Chains A and B, each alone.
Chain A
């Protein structure tokens, strides 16, 4: 694995967290962080600690809710779940990221064609 990990773009972590909670249901911080690492195939440079800044931000915006509970191995942990507004927001964000990804793909492809001619 010679290449370095991906730096997270501004705002991407929030979307990842929302999507993770949407897909997995209520989850504690550690679970969310681990899940993102697994799904990204360890390609994302993520200090697990940064997840908490993202969680509190989403919580303040009312997109996720939190409450204390007990984990599988009987540990006290804070569980986060996505809210109605959070789901709406996720739909918007997903559309946005897909559009952006599409545009980026096309733009980069276009450059390649231009060079050949």
Chain B
């Protein structure tokens, strides 16, 4: 054993000392021969004979040298290097081909790496927590009204924590935090800050330890304890300059002194897991006693005990949750929760599984098309190189040696392509990771890691093997004599048949991609066409800070002043305030028609709640169908009034006029004063739920305030004046962002836009490659038939006739490809049906469009060679050869 290891080392060593060792051997052999000659001469041979005999006995100096090298070094590596050297030389000579091939490969492989990284990050890679497979999310079953119907009260959470046996720990976070809910005061202008409240044990449950300082302690979850905060890593770096001594010091948050107890690690990104696209700056304790009366507001996460399965946890949850009271203080509110236990990873990315797999397949198709295209290019080259290879075989090169040579070529092309592709993917991924506007979970964590590199290697080698040897096998076989004779007609025809098959494959694949992309695009356009119930364009919102000292009357006065002054800014059409905006944070209560609240079939309807000021509806561009808007008098006089949407009106007062009716909501009996058109609350594709708008009064305090401004000019044009106005009213107004409402809609549709954009890009790429393929084949066949065409033209064929023939040949290929592609597309379309929105998988418009598009592109690709064919001069053509 030891000697083989030693031998291996020596062999490697010898490989690098080739020249020296050869030199030594040559000397040794020279002295060997000399000794042999001398001995022979002692036997009275002539000098000449002595030398001849010595050489005969020695048996070939060159062979001895070769055998010596084989025994001492790494012969396979020698051959490989020889192949590589030769390949580089050939590729350099054929630089046009090389550049095209490498670029095509870089595109194909780069796209694949990028998509794989996204798939890997969102679907495959475990979450960045300790033992992530134990982590679950617990939500209510069948949530009907947004976040409120997915969360739990403080009491229910505590009961579940105490009664369950399946979990090591259960914790949660406050689900209703809006962005920029606090401001950091101290140095210069106040800075808006997003703070999330987390229940006791939240970070322990996830298995996240602060990288600096410590986590929360139990006593910090007690009412009236010293306020403390854990900072997120980016916030610490950005706002506090990465100051390590900050731990233990106080910072001023919205005029409260808060002690920083630690900094979370860089790898922990709350937003990317729990709230895609959101940035969270710091975490503070969720003190249960502060929230006992506030209804459902905790989003629960749990860590299963070792050996407890999801099913076991689920069955325990099914037993416990129905027994939990909403509020201990008010047993009359009743009991009866439900709890769906889902693996955290599944909860975060499960919904995206299908889209991502479709994306993965689409990008795989692109690679396939790239390979087919390269096979085609290589075949074209093969035709040109067939003589070279026939010559080499005639000189004794074995067939597999030639195939290996070709494989080396394709491997080199694929490697260079992969390296460039990796660069391309890196650029794409860095871009994606910083797109806060794409609401995909975990996207900020996307990066090129080991798995991605392995995948790159796999697809690079895979595609090399796929596109490389086909032409090689073709080329190295066949009849040497015929090739060398240069008649080559039949071989050429065979080549062409193979190339035609490849082109047809390419068209068919591109067709599938185009149909898929077309259907997704149609769906996306349908989504954009949806009546949202509000006008996002030319409206923008800004989070407003004010100090009302907890006095509703003062708040009403401040709000009125803010809205009044903002409305007076030149260019502003309407202004109003709401605590929640559509398609962002939401909360729901119940609403009932007075007198009907006990009815089993109706009773309380879950309803989204907005605490608003007058003018908000107009600023958002919501349509008041009936009745009137809230007035400032409603607010200052604490009138109990409500505006409902059409869904509520239809459900609670079917066939009746709801105006003037009395409802039950939030423990009051507001009078319905208006009805507005339904607003898409959760997203463009979800149905509008029940909604109600209440004036901010003594009973109903808002959770934060967003000033919405509608302007004649683009929202950014009035941003400065709005901020100026707010600062004038409250000098402590932090520099919150002036966010276009369109951004909310874009964010809600961003996953779909993301997929459409990518699949669409791939489809265009596929189309481009397919048209290149068509062009290549037709163009080559025209070149090959130059003589034939020349003869035909000499015999009187017209230019048009020649052109038509070439175009017909092109169309024939295209039509076969399209026909095959259409059949495949029908099957594929059914598979992606669930991703479509108001679009049939057999959407005739899309299918017809793809046929026309592919047909046109094929015609264009065939047109150039056709023109060339028609300009062939018979005299010149016949003189060739």
> Which residues on A are within 8 Å of B, measured CB to CB?
28-30, 33-34, 47-50, 52-54, 56-57, 60-63, 71, 73, 75-78, 85, 89
Contacts and interface: CB of A to CB of B under 8 A. Distances in A.
Contact of B6 (A60, A73, A75): A60
Interface in B63-81: 63-64, 67-68, 70-72
A53 B70 contact: yes
A4 B121 CA distance: 71
A33 B485 CA distance: 50
A48 B58 contact: yes
A48 B72 contact: no
Contacts of A30: 31-32, 35-36
A52 B3 contact: no
B223 interface: no
A77 B31 contact: yes
B24 interface: yes
10 contacts: A29-B32, A49-B29, A49-B61, A50-B64, A52-B68, A57-B7, A60-B10, A60-B14, A75-B34, A76-B31
B393 interface: no
A50 B64 CA distance: 6
B93 interface: no
Contacts of A57: 7, 71-72
Interface string B174-185: 000000000000
Nearest to B61: A49
B7 A61 contact: yes
Contact of A56 (B4, B31, B57, B71): B71
Contacts of B29: 49, 52
B669 interface: no
A90 to B, nearest CB: 13
Interface of B: 3-4, 6-7, 10-11, 14, 24-25, 27-29, 31-32, 34-36, 38-39, 57-61, 63-64, 67-68, 70-72
A76 B25 CA distance: 12
Contact of B58 (A47, A53, A60, A62): A47
A48 B57 contact: yes
A60 B32 contact: no
Contacts of A50: 59, 64, 67
A63 B3 CA distance: 9
A63 B25 CA distance: 19
Given A49-B58, A53-B67, 18 more contacts: A28-B31, A28-B35, A30-B35, A30-B36, A33-B32, A50-B67, A52-B25, A53-B71, A53-B72, A57-B72, A60-B14, A60-B71, A61-B3, A73-B35, A75-B31, A75-B34, A77-B28, A78-B24
Contacts of A78: 24, 28
B60 A49 contact: yes
B14 to A, nearest CB: 8
A71 B35 contact: yes
A29 B28 contact: yes
Contact of B11 (A33, A54, A60, A89): A60
A102 B63 CA distance: 35
Contacts of B60: 47, 49
A98 B712 CA distance: 106
Contacts of B64: 47, 49-50, 52-53
Nearest to B11: A60
Given A52-B64, A71-B35, A76 B71 contact: no
Nearest to B35: A30
Contacts of A56: 68, 71-72
Contact of B59 (A49, A61, A63, A73): A49
A36 B127 CA distance: 71
B15 to A, nearest CB: 12
Nearest to A75: B31
